[in-house]
Amino acid sequence: MTERVLIEGVEFDAALTIRSDIGLLALHGSREGGTAELAHEVAARTGASCLVFTQPTGDPVHIPSHRMSVPTCAALQQFLSHVTLTISLHGHLRRETPRAIFLGGGNRAAADALAHSLTLLAPAFEPVTDLNHIPPGLRGLGPHNPVNLTPAGGVQLELPLSARTQGPRRTLGAPDVPPPVVTAALTAGVQRLMETSAGPRRSVQKR
């Protein structure tokens, strides 16, 4: 389902696919290039649920994550009521750490599991799980941040540009293409979470 929703005067399309109880979330799909495509692809490969926000018109606006959690968005409320563990994808442009992938959020066991897969399958990047080494604005620990509103909490991944796109779009409006190694690493990490207590599975058919 796709819902048109107004948040702080900005129009968004919220595209929701319900599958398992692990969910991929991209709150800033139009603003943080590659996060929407990465969320859709990893969810499709693993059978995870997926919710992606994009802006259909105008210059992309960045609304902080905790202010995106509005009760008027039915797609978000359905996502939060179904999903147990959330993996929220974001982008950062920190020049001093151009290869760092910061893994914040409240579920530290799940963060470690995803970091392990990134280390093995995307060695060009540096997963950072120590919260003391993650910039405060990227830690994803706010109680109103959607990544922390599901029963098992979640992981907020802050990806540098090179981990979510393969360079400038050749065609205006064409989707970003995340690096295959990052897609593969996150796919493996999500699959691992589906097999462990960090991310228990729920049967979609029973709902």
Residue positions counted in the chain: 207
The separation between CA 57 and the C-alpha centre of its own chain, rounded to angstroms, equals 22
Q: Is residue 4 a contact partner of residue 11, using CB atoms and an 8 Å limit? A: yes
Parallel, antiparallel or unpaired: strands 49-54 and 100-104 = unpaired
Mean pLDDT for 174-195 is 94
Give 34-77 pLDDT, tens digit per residue. 999 999 999 999 999 999 999 999 899 999 999 999 999 999 99
What tokens were used for 186? 């996150």
Parallel, antiparallel or unpaired: strands 85-92 and 49-54 = unpaired
Give 70-101 pLDDT, tens digit per residue. 999 999 999 999 999 999 999 999 999 999 99
Q: Is 153 helix (H, G, I), strand (E, B) or coil?
A: coil
Mean pLDDT for 176-200 is 88
**Confidence grade of residue 169 (pLDDT, cut at 50, 70, 90):** low
Q: Is residue 155 a contact partner of residue 114, using CB atoms and an 8 Å limit? A: yes
pLDDT at residue number 176: 85
Class of domain 2-206: alpha beta
For the chain, give the mean pLDDT. Answer: 92
What tokens were used for 16? 């929701």
**Which backbone phi and psi does 72 adopt, to 5 degrees?**
-80, -10
Domain map (residue ranges) of the chain: 2-206
Q: Which residues pair with 48 in a beta bridge?
A: none
**Which backbone phi and psi does 90 adopt, to 5 degrees?**
-135, 170
